[in-house]
Structure 1
Amino acid sequence: MYGETNWSLRPGRPDDIEAIAELRAVVMRDDLVRLGRYDEHRVRQRLRDGFSPRHTSVVEVDGGFAGCVTMRPYEDGEGLYLEHFYLTPGAQGRGLGTAVLRELLARADEAAAPVRLVVLQGSAARRLYEREGFTYESEDPVDVLLVRAPRVPTGPRPAGRTLRGRLRPADGR
């Protein structure tokens, strides 16, 4: 369907807020409805209230908007907090989420920083995070807190590495 696709991360900008708020509403709708927590206004407003262009990266595929992710310092200063990691439905299921997450985790490992995140109860995204080394820390009826300890880098990253990658085709080949 898409063939080989280039992806990149670019710094977030204040004018990205509405596209990201809308993406959040689309991507989280089914899980929030299942949990009895979907509110058409609140799902967007929670993103707007906490949006930080400084800590947000926009995921682009072939130069177009494909998602976003925020990585900010954790409240206690001990590590990083990953949030607002959303991909457009058309960008899902092709390895993009794994590629972006691995890039962010490599950065965290270089800084020897643990990474925490919250995933909704029953969300399919939890499998991705657990495959990449996140483990259970705590939960409530709606959210599950996961943490990943930093890993010792196995060698230096190539000099001049850019935040670009190749996705596998939509048919998995």
Structure 2
Amino acid sequence: MTPVYLPAQAQDFEALLALRIRAMRPSLARIGRFDPERARARFRDSFHPAATCKIMLGDVCAGFYALRALPDSLELDHLYIEPDQQGCGLGAAVLAHVFAHADAIGLPVHVGALRDSDSNRFYRRHGFVQSGESEWDIHYARPPAVVQANSTSG
């Protein structure tokens, strides 16, 4: 099934928070950092409905992403897929959608991933290159694809 991307609304906060917690809990618990109140506060501080899209499979919200436009790049603030939908190609489809937009406007995409999270392998596999680190996260960048014009010689 092909995903459909719908704009998030402010009233989606609780449902998207719950989805984010389901997706992140194993990684956070593995490093001893799972705290539901901290998860709520961090998401509340970074939730911008205008930059957020729900990933719909039929009438089911299978995940969401948030993509913020900065002056010289796009920031993928969130990309969370329901655990039972992970490993099925949905995340790759979402990245292809994001990359098509980034490439069309010639901007790189930046993302951060929790250290020791499986998402690090996912982002590297899809063309992101490590660009930095912080205490808890690894930061990645993916340059825009270079589109070459067709030329004919004759």
Pair in the same fold by TM > 0.5? yes
Asked if structure 2 preserves the Cα contact closer than 8 Å seen for 1:24 and 1:44, the reply is no
Asked if structure 2 preserves the Cα contact closer than 8 Å seen for 1:110 and 1:153, the reply is no
Alpha-carbon separation, structure 2, partners of 1:45 and 1:154: 44
Q: Match of 2:146?
A: 152
- Cα deviations across residues 33-74 of structure 1 (Å, max 9, x unaligned)? 222221111112211222111100100011211110000023
Identity of aligned residues (%): 36
1:138 aligns with 2:132: yes
Alpha-carbon separation, structure 2, partners of 1:61 and 1:87: 11
CA shift, 1:154, in A, is: 6.1
- Within the candidate set 62, 87, 94, 2:81 is matched to 87
Alpha-carbon separation, structure 1, partners of 2:148 and 2:56: 28
Displaced runs of 4+ in structure 1, greater than 6 A?
none
Q: CA RMSD in A?
A: 1.4
Asked if structure 2 preserves the Cα contact closer than 8 Å seen for 1:136 and 1:144, the reply is yes
Aligned residues: 149
1:70 aligns with 2:60: no
- Tell me which amino acid in the other structure corresponds to 1:55: A
TM-score when normalising by structure 1? 0.81
TM-score when normalising by structure 2? 0.90
Higher relative contact order (CA 8 A, sep 6+): 1
Q: Match of 1:30?
A: 26
Q: Which runs of 5+ in 1 are unaligned?
A: 156-173
Q: Match of 1:53?
A: 49
Q: Which runs of 5+ in 2 are unaligned?
A: 150-154
CA shift, 1:140, in A, is: 2.6
